[in-house]
Amino acid sequence: MKRHRYLLTICVLTTLALLVCILSAWVAAESQSSLKGTVKFDGTAPKPSRIDMSQDPLCAKAHSSPATTEDFVVADNGDFANVVVYVSDGLTNHNFQPPAEAATLEQKGCQYKPHVLALQAGQKFDVVNSDETTHNIHPTPNNNREWNMTQPHGMPLEQTFAREEIAVPVKCNVHPWMKGYIAVFKHPYFAVTDKNGSFEIKDLPPGTYTITAWQEKLPPQSQKITVGSGEAKTLDFTFKR
């Protein structure tokens, strides 16, 4: 009988603990907000320029058609890709731990993929060389340590950025046309627009924030927004030259 009572007590306590966990997770989920939106370009966007890769035949043969620059990636309807959208003011907690998953920058076809990469300070940063040729990756930050490393095909390369910086130019000293940007944040509330100009910032705590959109060739834009507990908000940006 005592054993049965003991087992019953354990079952009740386990069930209560499970219910507490479920309730806590539900409350946390309900209290988080999200922000979605799009970034557009209004007007006639500059046409991509053709990249001459003839100095390295291994780069040239990686493309069935001529490669082009990616500083303005704008669809016919104005959808603007490669724009970094992030919380620039309003967060009260800045002690955010970096995610365990690494951010990856790939060198493919002698171009950086993605052209604009966003990650968190302290997050592992993997650089991959998928080309048959040798590359040299050279970020030139103002608020982080500068480094310059040669990377043959298949050699792993892992680094980190210690401090927030928007955005770090990155280049290849071997192939001068290779250019990109790395945006480093001290919090996880950021996104980079896709080919449809869309972005989403998840799990945003309730509050009033300044949201900034950064593009490598145009002045940044900012808007204020207030999000309530569990609220899904939308916010759109439009750039012009």
What is the chain's pLDDT, residue by residue, as a tens digit (241 residues)?
555 555 555 554 455 444 434 333 333 444 579 999 999 999 999 999 999 999 999 999 999 999 999 999 999 999 999 999 999 999 987 789 999 999 999 999 999 999 999 999 999 999 999 999 999 999 999 999 999 999 999 899 999 999 999 999 999 999 999 999 999 999 999 999 999 999 999 999 999 999 999 999 999 999 999 999 999 999 999 999 8
The pTM assigned to this predicted structure is: 0.86
Residue with token string 């945006």:
183
Burial annotation 83-122 (CB, 10 A radius, 16+ → b, else e) = bbbbbbebbeeeeeebeeeebebbbebbbbebbbbbbbbb
CA distances from 57 to 130, 133, 177 (A): 15, 9, 14
- The set of residues, in sequence order, having a beta carbon less than 8 Å from that of 138 and lying 6+ positions away, is 146, 147, 148, 149, 170, 171, 172, 173
Residue with token string 């997770």:
25
- The set of residues, in sequence order, having a beta carbon less than 8 Å from that of 103 and lying 6+ positions away, is 117, 118, 119, 123, 124, 125, 126
